[in-house]
Amino acid sequence: MAVFDNLGKYRNTGLLLLRLGLGTMMIIHGYPKIGGGQATWTQIGGSMKLIGVDFAPVLWGFMAAATETFGGFLLILGLLFRPVNMLLVFTMVIAALVHLSDPKQGLGDASHAIELAIVFFSLLFIGPGKYSIDKK
């Protein structure tokens, strides 16, 4: 369709909108986890047992909450873009494993985390775009 032919010129605007939307949602999703304190961090960090890491659950839980919250903010800015996306991919993979390991849940419950992992992994290759602090 002719109306869509020129949208390719706005690739960087599309990346900015994607970063703003995903970053905002990650902040909204992660902020309650940061505020949840040690009990919440222990519960979240306990998920690392799924990959054989059974020490320091408070640390791992805090890191997951911080990655979602502050990683979302850095995603919006386009600062430390690729390292943040790597951390977000890891966090989403663990979240997907949590859902998949629960016999009461399945692929439908894990799909959101899987989809986000795919998007964050793809952004590693695409980059932040020119409307970012890390612009290249």
Question: Domain coordinates of the chain in residue numbers?
Answer: 10-126
Q: Tell me, what's the pLDDT at 55?
A: 95
| 36, amino acid identity | G
Could you give the C-alpha distances from 97 to 24, 28, 38, 101, 111, in angstroms and in order? 24, 22, 22, 6, 11
What does the pLDDT read at residue 115? 98
Question: From first to last of its 136 residues, what are the pLDDT tens digits of the chain?
Answer: 777 888 888 999 999 999 999 999 999 999 999 999 999 999 999 999 999 999 999 999 999 999 999 999 999 999 999 999 999 999 999 999 999 999 999 999 999 999 999 999 999 999 999 999 987 6
- pLDDT at position 15 is 95
pLDDT value at residue 136: 62
Alpha carbon of 100 to those of 18, 30, 93, 115, 134: distances in Å? 27, 21, 10, 14, 35
Q: Find, among 12, 6, 20, 131, the residue nearest to 75 by Cα.
A: 20
